[in-house]
Chain A
């Protein structure tokens, strides 16, 4: 036994007291002692998970070699450091997240030179790890962890009393290293995939609209349910369009993963943008198709885009190979049959046709992706029929989504993601009475509701325009002049008696007579548009009552 360093098979000169060992022949180790290590095979790892596997492996190494400590440090390529990952005997290493620079000290040198190193009597200058120094470690043996030529970490054992680690110890340690390395690598890949999955989920969520619509008796609601193991390319969207109309969209990019999610984001944005340019649904799909085909990657998607005119309840819809929408919430819940059509991105110069449908007050248009209705062993149309029957009684967009989700319950693990979007066309009473916050943007909403009410009462376009201006002016007056800056509200009521329509705009503010040319002009407009106008100031607020006889 000599204290002189022994150099074997390394191009690098060792430091005093360090012995660089040649690769050991594993046959040197008694079979019975390493058998327990061999038993830690891949199936064991997949059953246990990495944490448990490493703990088990280190425990067996400790037992077989009767050492005081055994530890695994993993290589952090970015930081060029080794990080303590698992330990038996001196667990503080891991708990304190010890980091060793590659190239320095015992473990650092093993990593840098990819050699096994034995230190018979530790000179504490050789040890970078403060915990091992504090514990008074005396002898150390370590091996590199290598997978397909890449260093992934270091496995080492240590003794608190001076001890010579021989070829047998080295062989056992190398077997353990060979067992641990692929498992660690695989776990790292899983973690990376997991990370991608999370990124994709965040992307997916951030791309779906968070806000809801609740304007002029039109409400929208939606659901998105991710698949269990993968991120998908489903999306929904809804938005307001010029002339008070609403757009509602459902889509599904073929494929899964970050790419599908990213493409989904592009298509959603493209469709939304073209829609705002006031293109028809069929034209919008065609533009999205051309956009999609201009992208370098080949991909396909199905989508449906519908535009609802709240004044009349009419829907214009175009579908690119998407599943048929449902109309629910009345006695006549129905599947809106769509002609077969190509998906987006599939063919050169594809075009789409448009179809019309009509919503009655109280009905809801429901769009969904295939994840909601595709069930192994169930024909698609039967599954859609079942969806129709469970959602038929839905009284709101929210309820339609809720019932549709219940339809797939209890969902074990979703193989595909699911998107659902619903737009409800609220019923309009014969006598209108609404309360709105005293805030200028509500004027447009008020006009939408009133326009729908006027259409409901078959008021002609010319009369309708004059009434809209007059009532809107009265509301603007309530907002602008009757209030202090504190939050407030006003009410609008509309009634019909035979050929005469009456409108009342009521606020709780104290009336201030119109000042300035502008307000004076507003009241003039009201008076010119209506047959009778009364302004009734009182203690409680101000009422403007307007009447107009309408042409048949």
Chain B
């Protein structure tokens, strides 16, 4: 049983990376690599869907920043899907980074 996992889908130049399970020091780097590898050059933006994530801490937040930087070099944007009552939202708020990141409440909100 892996602690955390990521499922990547690509739709119309948009990558959706859905995170599940838990992300901590033990697996953050692997998850980051998987998202970067699953993002084609032609993609315009990446949605990191954290709504099903059960645990996130500073190692996961580090992942977000590194991914943002990598994608930025290719001119791709990173958006986080973080419902306000989710464990991921707690972590982002505790670290004081919620306001510095491009977050949305749900994927539906992005589509609407």
Contacts and interface: CB of A to CB of B under 8 A. Distances in A.
A375 interface: no
B25 A479 contact: yes
A203 to B, nearest CB: 24
B63 to A, nearest CB: 10
A472 interface: yes
A529 B91 CA distance: 9
B1 A241 contact: yes
Interface string A462-489: 0001101100110010011000000000
A441 B30 CA distance: 13
A49 interface: no
A518 B95 CA distance: 10
Contacts of B49: none
A469 B24 CA distance: 10
A528 B96 contact: yes
A205 interface: no
B24 A472 contact: yes
Contact of B94 (A276, A440, A525): A525
Given A518-B58, A524-B95, A524-B96, A476 B90 contact: no
B62 A473 contact: no
A463 to B, nearest CB: 11
A524 B22 CA distance: 20
B87 A465 contact: yes
A441 B59 CA distance: 13
A466 B90 contact: yes
Contacts of B59: 476, 518, 522
B54 A243 contact: yes
A466 B94 CA distance: 8
Contacts of A473: 57-58
A443 interface: yes
A525 B57 contact: yes
A469 B94 contact: yes
A444 B26 contact: yes
A479 B26 CA distance: 11
A521 B62 contact: yes
Given A528-B94, A528-B95, A528-B96, A444 B3 contact: yes
A517 interface: yes
Interface in A193-241: 239-241
A91 to B, nearest CB: 60
Interface string A496-532: 0000000000000000000001110110110011000
A231 B21 CA distance: 39
A302 B52 CA distance: 34
Given A469-B91, A473-B57, A521-B62, A440 B24 contact: yes
Given A240-B1, A473-B57, A473-B58, A521 B95 contact: yes
Chain B interface secondary structure, helix, strand, loop or mixed?
mixed
Contacts of B55: 447, 468-469, 472
A377 interface: no
Contacts of B3: 441, 444
Contacts of A480: 25
B97 interface: yes
Nearest to B21: A242
B103 interface: no
A469 B53 CA distance: 14
Nearest to B93: A528
Given A242-B20, A518-B58, A524-B96, A465 B26 contact: no
Nearest to B63: A518
Nearest to A522: B58
B95 A239 contact: no
Contacts of A443: 24-26
A541 B57 CA distance: 24
B54 A472 contact: no
Which of A444, A468, A479, A522: most chain B CB closer than 10 A? A444
B90 A469 contact: yes
Nearest to B29: A440
Contacts of A519: 58
Interface in A418-467: 440-441, 443-444, 447, 465-466
Contacts of A524: 58, 94-96
B57 A518 contact: no
A450 B110 CA distance: 36
A525 B26 contact: no
Nearest to A523: B58
Residue in A239, A241, A242 whose Cβ sees the most chain B Cβ within 10 Å: A242
Contacts of B61: 518, 521
A521 B25 contact: no
A245 to B, nearest CB: 10
Nearest to A439: B26
Nearest to B26: A440
A446 to B, nearest CB: 10
Contacts of B54: 242-243
A249 to B, nearest CB: 14
A517 B21 CA distance: 25
A469 B92 CA distance: 11
Contacts of A468: 55
Nearest to B24: A443
Nearest to A529: B94
A503 to B, nearest CB: 15
Interface string B81-112: 00000010011011111000000000000000
A525 B97 CA distance: 10
Question: Which 6 residue pairs of A and B lie closest in terms of their CB atoms, listed nearest first?
Answer: A440-B26, A522-B58, A240-B1, A518-B62, A528-B94, A476-B25
Interface of B: 1, 3, 20-22, 24-26, 54-55, 57-59, 61-62, 65, 87, 90-91, 93-97
18 contacts: A240-B1, A276-B1, A443-B24, A444-B24, A444-B26, A466-B94, A469-B57, A469-B90, A473-B57, A473-B58, A476-B57, A476-B59, A518-B58, A521-B61, A521-B62, A521-B95, A522-B59, A528-B95
Given A239-B1, A525-B58, A528-B93, 7 more contacts: A241-B1, A242-B54, A243-B54, A480-B25, A518-B59, A521-B95, A522-B59
